[in-house]
Amino acid sequence: MTAFTLHDLEAIIAARAGASAEASYTRKMLDKGAAHCAKKMGEEAIEVVLAGASEPRERVVAEAADLLYHLLVLLKARDVALTDVEAVLQTRTAQSGLDEKASRKDV
């Protein structure tokens, strides 16, 4: 397990939004707007689909990393925090009752 989290990457993206477009790919993407970020994320998603279907495991891992980075850039472009997404996931988990069951072994 690595200590690096999506929250760490979200913080890096927020910091790099203040860099110059020449120095930062993140800033360059954000300057192009949310629609461009969304299109790029879609392209990265397709690469995950192709890798997931038939490419070696390390390709799946690398493409998934690209996708998660571009998803976080899109969320930044739309002013959505990772905690906003996590809150939805937490609510769904609570609604399913699995948040309580997860600590039990008999479910």
Ligand X SMILES: N=c1c2ncn([C@@H]3O[C@H](COP(=O)(O)OP(=O)(O)OP(=O)(O)O)[C@@H](O)[C@H]3O)c2ncn1[C@@H]1O[C@H](COP(=O)(O)O)[C@@H](O)[C@H]1O
Binding-site ranges for ligand X (CB under 6 A): 9, 12, 16, 24-27, 40, 66, 69
Nearest to 61 by CA among 74, 52, 72: 52
- Which C-beta is closer to ligand X: that of 12 or that of 93? 12
Residue nearest ligand X by beta-carbon distance: 26
CB of 68 to ligand X, least distance (A): 8
- Which C-beta is closer to ligand X: that of 69 or that of 77? 69
Please say whether the beta carbons of 45 and 38 come within 8 A: no
- Which C-beta is closer to ligand X: that of 68 or that of 85? 68
- Please tell me what DSSP assigns to residue 18: T
- Which C-beta is closer to ligand X: that of 25 or that of 99? 25
Instruction: Give CA–CA dist 16/8, Å, rounded.
Output: 12
CB of 101 to ligand X, least distance (A): 35
Nearest to 44 by CA among 21, 71, 4, 17: 71
